Amino acid sequence: MNDRLFIFDTTLRDGEQVPGCQLNTVEKIQVAKALEALGVDVIEAGFPVSSPGDFNSVIEISKAVTWPVICALTRAVEKDIDVAAQALQYAKHKRIHTGIGTSDAHICYKFNSTREEILQRAVACVKYARRYVEEVEFYAEDAGRTDNEYLARVVEAVIKAGATVVNIPDTTGYCLPDEYGRKISYLMEHVDGIDKAILSTHCHNDLGMATANTMAGILNGARQVEVTINGIGERAGNTALEEVAMIIKCHNDIRIETNINTQKIYPTSRLVSSLMNMPVQANKAVVGRNAFAHSSGIHQDGVLKNVQTYEIMNPRDVGIDDNSIVLTARSGRAALKNRLELLGVKIENGSLDALYEAFLALADKKKDVNDDDILVLAGVDRSKNHRIKLEYLQVTSGVGVRSVASLGLNIAGEKFEAAAGGNGPVDAAIKALKKIIDRQMQLKEFTIQAISKGSDDMGKVHMQVEYDKHVYYGFGANTDIIAASVEAYIDCINKFKG
Ligand code: KIV
Ligand code: ZN
């Protein structure tokens, strides 16, 4: 049987320390529930003594979540531990995460102390936390730069004092993978009683090695990993949950199992990104926009023949459901034909060449060509089978006047009209639309894509609308950007289930 690897998610504690990314309690609960659905084992919900907001979030997350262990961070200070225990009172499964810096830099400059004194404080805080909870995790801050012999003494002492998990953070992201792996292996070999606790990795990404270090830790005996969604966190961030989960899924030779439902990875990544207003870089491993997008002709041809040529994981395994091959000026006829077929467009004999010429002319002007462009090229009216259609839209807006919009919709053959004022033309148009379609829906994301060439080019709008706990993606393309926005909103509504 494979060993079990525990996933400790710290998106809501270490991840949330990113400047400008703070979440309110309601948003934290949303993330915590998504993490529970994703299958994480432990949710680090906050640092309760740091602020009343953090204290309250740990309480509310504890109430909202059932299966994962809820963890609260403290320093090696009794008051911190008292407050953490209080914040965890409603958690069904609870853990206190306490600790202290163990590197010489921390001992000398931060604590003005000695190795012996720090060792005693480490033992004392673990014993104190054990008075409140069964599960106590100890962190040896800056373990990455801590002398291994001294670190082993600290780890042995805290396990004896009752620590059930010992966290070995590479706080500054300094270690090389081999060095970090050897550190874990040293502790596995030299700590008496190591079998009574689990060693945990906690790697920062300052030198881009967080995931590599975490994997080195796992390969050398660590059985818990501390990670965040999208790798967010202070400075260059923490190890990304999605990277570790997919490495383990792709490499059958690593005989380890997690409880992660990988198909929830992409939606969780999008949720965290949108709530924190922190975009995911396009080339981010596993969840970036381009992670599965093969744009060169050679790659596209290979993928179409057999995905194994260039794809080591299936986008569906991480919850990406669409066909994300980006068509560019370098794409071949085979890629275009395949996309048309996927879009349900039948190509008459001999018409592919002409279509391909038109596609190349468009691709020369634009960075990438999407499904709507292709449908336009193929002369297909995307909206012709939609239940709700925009019949007309008239907007008055400008500087010093209130925007007003009136629009007409055709809903399954019946015509409706409405008008509304708003804070700008898009707001006015959407308010008018909502007068006709009165549902509890909320606009979550609204992106207007740059017009590529000329003021008469198509403006493109991507939207996400939440309705009945589901998020629907919509798209609109029109030379009038306000009309494109309304079309994108209607596109979302047309996809509503129920
Ligand atoms: O990076 C770190 O050392 C930490 C500890 C507080 C666990 O986040
Ligand atoms: Zn950290």
Q: Name the pLDDT band for 352 (thresholds 50, 70, 90).
A: confident
* CB distance 393 to 486 below 8 Å: yes
226 lines ligand 1 (CB under 6 A): no
> What is the mean pLDDT of the segment spanning 22-43?
94
CA of 204 to the centre of ligand 2 (A): 6
Q: Is the pLDDT score of 380 beyond 80?
A: no
* CB distance 321 to 313 below 8 Å: no
Mean pLDDT is lowest, of 140-154, 356-370, 373-387, for 373-387
Q: How far is CA 463 from CA 265, 434, 481, in A?
A: 20, 16, 13
Give residue 194's identity as a one-letter amino acid code.
I
Residue whose Cα lies nearest atom 8 of ligand 1: it is: 14
* More reliable by pLDDT, 455 or 363: 363
Taking the CA of residue 73 as reference, the ligand 1 atom at the shortest distance is 6
Q: Is the pLDDT score of 344 beyond 70?
A: no
Give residue 465's identity as a one-letter amino acid code.
V
Residue 383: per-residue pLDDT: 59
pTM: 0.71
- The secondary structure of 282-301 as a DSSP string is TT-TTTSTTTT---SHHHHH
Ligand closest to Cα of 138 equals 1
Q: Name the pLDDT band for 51 (thresholds 50, 70, 90).
A: very high
Mean pLDDT is lowest, of 38-47, 135-144, 290-299, for 290-299
Ligand closest to Cα of 170 equals 1
139 lines ligand 1 (CB under 6 A): yes
CA of 437 to the centre of ligand 1 (A): 49
The total of other beta-carbon atoms located within 10 Å of residue 114's CB is 11
Q: What angle (nearest 5°) sits at the alpha carbon of residue 350, between those of residues 325 and 377?
A: 45
Biggest CA pair distance of the chain: 83
141 lines ligand 1 (CB under 6 A): yes
CA distance 98 to 461: 47
CA distance 205 to 374: 40
202 lines ligand 1 (CB under 6 A): yes
Residue 238: per-residue pLDDT: 98
Q: Is the pLDDT score of 341 beyond 80?
A: no
Ligand closest to Cα of 143 equals 1
CA distance 209 to 319: 26
Percentage of residues of the chain with pLDDT beyond 70: 92
The secondary structure of residue 309, as a DSSP letter, is: G
CA of 240 to the centre of ligand 2 (A): 12
The secondary structure of residue 209, as a DSSP letter, is: -
CA distance 210 to 233: 12
Taking the CA of residue 167 as reference, the ligand 1 atom at the shortest distance is 7
The length of the chain is 498
- Angle of helix 210-219 versus helix 177-190 axis, rounded to 10: 30
Taking the CA of residue 142 as reference, the ligand 1 atom at the shortest distance is 3
* CB distance 285 to 240 below 8 Å: yes
> What is the mean pLDDT of the segment spanning 427-433?
95
Residue 372: per-residue pLDDT: 62
CA distance 74 to 62: 17
171 lines ligand 1 (CB under 6 A): yes
With b for 16 or more beta-carbon neighbours within 10 A and e for fewer, the 170-204 pattern comes to bbbbbbebeebbebbbbbeeebeebeebbbbbbbb
Q: Identify the structural domains of the chain with CATH numbers, from first to last.
A: 3-275 (3.20.20.70), 293-377 (no CATH), 388-493 (3.30.160.270)
Q: What are the residues whose beta carbons fall under 8 Å from the beta carbon of 442, sequence distance 6 or more? A: 465, 466, 467
Q: What are the residues whose beta carbons fall under 8 Å from the beta carbon of 71, sequence distance 6 or more? A: 8, 42, 43, 44, 45, 94, 95, 96, 97, 137
14 lines ligand 1 (CB under 6 A): yes
Rounded to the nearest angstrom, the gap between the alpha carbon of residue 266 and the centroid of all alpha carbons in its chain is: 7
Q: Is the pLDDT score of 453 beyond 50?
A: no
Three-state secondary structure call for residue 11: coil
CA of 229 to the centre of ligand 2 (A): 14
- The secondary structure of 248-280 as a DSSP string is HHH-TTS-EE----GGGHHHHHHHHHHHTT-PP
CA of 5 to the centre of ligand 2 (A): 19
Which residue of 9, 103, 202, 232 sits with most ligand 1 atoms within 8 Å of its CB, as the best mutation to test the pocket? 202
Token reading at 155: 């780890």
Residue 72: per-residue pLDDT: 98
145 lines ligand 1 (CB under 6 A): no
CA distance 411 to 477: 20
The total of other beta-carbon atoms located within 10 Å of residue 61's CB is 29
Residue 131: per-residue pLDDT: 98
CA of 284 to the centre of ligand 2 (A): 20
Phi, psi of 474 (to 5 degrees): -130, 160
Residue 327: per-residue pLDDT: 80
Residue 491: per-residue pLDDT: 85
Q: Name the pLDDT band for 275 (thresholds 50, 70, 90).
A: confident
- The secondary structure of 168-185 as a DSSP string is EEETTS---HHHHHHHHH
CA of 58 to the centre of ligand 2 (A): 18
Token reading at 220: 């050398």
CA of 218 to the centre of ligand 1 (A): 18
40: left (phi over 0), alpha (psi -120 to 50) or beta: beta
CA distance 451 to 46: 42
Taking the CA of residue 139 as reference, the ligand 1 atom at the shortest distance is 7
Mean pLDDT is lowest, of 397-401, 435-439, 453-457, for 453-457
Tell me the chain's radius of gyration from C-alpha atoms.
27
Q: Is the pLDDT score of 448 beyond 90?
A: no
Q: Is the pLDDT score of 276 beyond 60?
A: yes
Q: Is the pLDDT score of 474 beyond 70?
A: yes
75 lines ligand 1 (CB under 6 A): no
Token reading at 144: 């990455």
Token reading at 470: 């589901």
Residue range 196-239, pLDDT digits in tens: 999 999 999 999 999 999 999 999 999 999 999 999 998 999 99
